[in-house]
Structure 1
Amino acid sequence: MDKEYSQVQAMLSITRAGLKAIFRSPSAVIFSIGFPLIFILVFGFIGGSSGISLNVAIDKKSDTLNPVYTIVKQIPSIKIKEKTDLELKEDLEKGRITAVINIQKNDAQNPAYVVKLTSSEAVKPQNLQVLQSILNSVIGKINQQHYPDAPSIAEVQPDVQKIPGRVYRQIDFILPGQLGFSLLSAGVFGVSFLFFSLRQQLVLKRFFATPITKTYIVLGEALARVIFQMITAVIIVGIGTVAFHFTLVHGFTTFLEILVLSFIALIVFMGYGFIVSSVAKNESTIPPFANLFTLPQFLLAGTFFPVDVFPKWMQFFCNLLPLTHFNNAMRDIAFEGASLISVWKEIGIMVIWGVLIYAVAIKVFKWE
């Protein structure tokens, strides 16, 4: 009696063959692993000497009628953030703001005002020193211009109150962006070139001569790409954690949640790859079609720099992109300690993108 043909075994055979082909492809390895690791290494090594951020907040109990406050709020290099007490506490703990400034009248009347700073252990010491220097410079200028013969109008207290905090490193921002870069590149370019090549070389047509169904053909090739990219994600996160102390708040649990999030994002991005492989007339037209989807996301989705550096009107478009929501969700999970459930909004938007993309992919996908 003949053994029944197994669709699953045939699919797994296609998967194994696909994996071998991917690992033998220099371009696949370079784009998925090489480039992201190069960016991580570069930013990881320069992370300790990154630019000084002087985001501050003004304590709600501060006296804001004094000349010190008037000048400080006009200094371009100091950005005053207005948030709730809870948000300020969280920002301090994570080093997002340098200090909370509290300016009060001095009961002893000499000097007239006392400037107190509240910071955290997550803030770089040099940032705090620069802020203190700026405040002392402001006070010195006021004294020179308006009170040359009188005691100093204000004094910055040298003792800074510090609350516990978690150090936010450059790698904590750049690694999620580079993992997203890898997933998007592989999902779009990898799938586009793969299925176009299979169709052009009549490999898909030869599959039709076998009992395997179309669904298992696609699943087999897609599974090979997913396995390869999950291995890539493990390598990228692993190197970032071991070599540059990338933050995984809850350790292995956070690592697993990152892999699940990466899997969801990859499935979404692969859908556009199916579209490109079908609409492209030849291999030279694949990159232009693929870049219509990938290039705006590389530039605008918080891959290399925060979205809030763009004008408000552009941030609206940035926040529509699926890669933006992957980057935000991964940073929240890795550094903030959020769970997959708590980033449901970001995942939901990616899923909506996936539904729309695959609805188009099903309509345009070609087998021959």
Structure 2
Amino acid sequence: MSKYKYSQIKAMLAIARGSFKASLRSPSTVIFSIGFPLVFILAFAFLGNGSGPRINIAIHAGADTTSEVYQALKTAPGIRIKNEHGEILSEDLEKGRITAIVNIQKTGKENPAYLLKLTTSAAVNPSTVEVLQSYLNAQADALNKTYYPHSVAVVGVSEQIEKLPGRTYRTIDFILPGQLGFSLLSAGIFGVAFLFFNLRQQLVLKRFFATPISRTFIILGEALSRVVFQLLAAIVIILIGVVFFKFTLVHGWVTFLEIMILSFISLIVFMGCGFIVSGLSKSESTIPPFANIFTLPQFLLAGTFFPIENFPKWLQPLCNILPLTHFNNAMRNISFEGASLISCWPDIANLLIWGVIVYAIAIKVFKWE
């Protein structure tokens, strides 16, 4: 009689190794995990040419807010005024979240009676500041013609711009985190759903059941292969962003490691959605519709391609609930702003809450046969 003791760990690792090799041989897996995110990164990086995704301004605390100039700025299309003051305002300016602080000053003269002065930072792309300055000049001309048609120029924009130090904010610093989230979500949902459906359909799971390996270690083995493959894909995406597009990693390797930990947590959560889709699907053709219920709203509304602030205010609360939103927020805070995982605890806590919910549902609906 053999004294050999069956090892669940070795069996799990064997399953993980085989599944990992299968992922490498699957063109669709490689395309969804690396190909599509890189295409979007390239497209947005070249189109954006280094500028931020949206122009925001703040009004200086000492500005004259009783004049027609201020009212015109409040209603001007294309400009969003953020009501911030003190340290928060200075921090947002230095990190490129705000294009400029606009000060509306009375000059005590007739020509011009009001002067707009801008304060910006090195974190803001110079071309964005030029666009804002041109836009304010156009608004000033319109005000002069509307309210002061018989005067030479009552409202003017100062050509001198005060510039504070700050970190250069590029399009890639916004786009890459969203595309990394896109990759993790796609792999977690589509990859797991198709994988376990095909394992059931091809009777591979039944063959596993004929061996001493437990069901728990079957899932762990398959999950491990997905996690390893996707984290390698994340490393490739980040390296390409850093080398070719100067993606910001504030604290170098420390920031990189924190991003990988965040990616691991998020991928585990997204894989739970994949288990739900796998359990609900009756045939292979029903997997994409079910998966898109989870993925499409997040691709569109979670700040993947555009800032959530661009959406209507009534829609923003829904955007802020989505798990991909919390990954994107934490990722951008860690990579560009130098935040730590601990300081991003609200976003990570939301991801973990989503994890508890989706796995509770997955346990109920998941099918082995």
- Give the alignment's TM-score, normalised by structure 2: 0.93
Deviations 1:293-320 (A, max 9, x none): 1111111111111112222221111111
Give the structure 2 partner of residue 3 of structure 1: 4
What residue ranges of structure 2 are gaps of 5+ in the alignment? none
Check conservation: 1:249, 1:337, Cα contact below 8 A.
yes
In structure 2, do the counterparts of structure 1 residues 63 and 19 end up closer, same or farther at CA, with 3 Å as the change threshold? same
Give the structure 2 partner of residue 37 of structure 1: 38
Secondary structure of 2:103's match?
A: strand
Give the structure 1 partner of residue 94 of structure 2: 93
Check conservation: 2:184, 2:263, Cα contact below 8 A.
yes
The range that moved more, 191-200 or 75-84, is 75-84
- Are 1:252 and 2:253 an aligned pair? yes
CA distance in 2, matches of 1:28, 1:297: 20
Give the structure 2 partner of residue 346 of structure 1: 347
Count residues with an aligned counterpart. 368
Check conservation: 1:52, 1:127, Cα contact below 8 A.
no
Give the structure 2 partner of residue 199 of structure 1: 200
Give the structure 2 partner of residue 271 of structure 1: 272
Aligned-pair RMSD on alpha carbons? 2.1
Give the structure 2 partner of residue 19 of structure 1: 20
CA distance in 2, matches of 1:305, 1:52: 7
Letter in 2 for 1:164: P
- Give the alignment's TM-score, normalised by structure 1: 0.93
Identity of aligned residues (%): 64
After TM superposition, list the pairs within 5 Å mapping 1:152-191 onto structure 2.
152-191=153-192
State the 1:149 CA deviation: 6.7
State the 1:95 CA deviation: 2.1
Secondary structure of 1:336's match?
A: coil
State the 1:145 CA deviation: 6.0
CA distance in 2, matches of 1:285, 1:151: 68
- Are 1:125 and 2:148 an aligned pair? no
Check conservation: 1:54, 1:127, Cα contact below 8 A.
yes
CA distance in 1, matches of 2:18, 2:108: 80
CA distance in 1, matches of 2:52, 2:5: 65
Deviations 1:233-273 (A, max 9, x none): 10011111111111111111111111111111111111121
Check conservation: 1:40, 1:178, Cα contact below 8 A.
yes
What residue ranges of structure 1 are gaps of 5+ in the alignment? none
CA distance in 1, matches of 2:143, 2:198: 71
CA distance in 1, matches of 2:100, 2:235: 36
Secondary structure of 2:102's match?
A: strand
Letter in 1 for 2:286: T
State the 1:49 CA deviation: 6.6
In structure 2, do the counterparts of structure 1 residues 65 and 254 end up closer, same or farther at CA, with 3 Å as the change threshold? same
Letter in 2 for 1:174: I
Give the structure 2 partner of residue 219 of structure 1: 220
Check conservation: 2:104, 2:114, Cα contact below 8 A.
yes
Give the structure 2 partner of residue 116 of structure 1: 117
Letter in 1 for 2:276: I
CA distance in 2, matches of 1:301, 1:308: 11
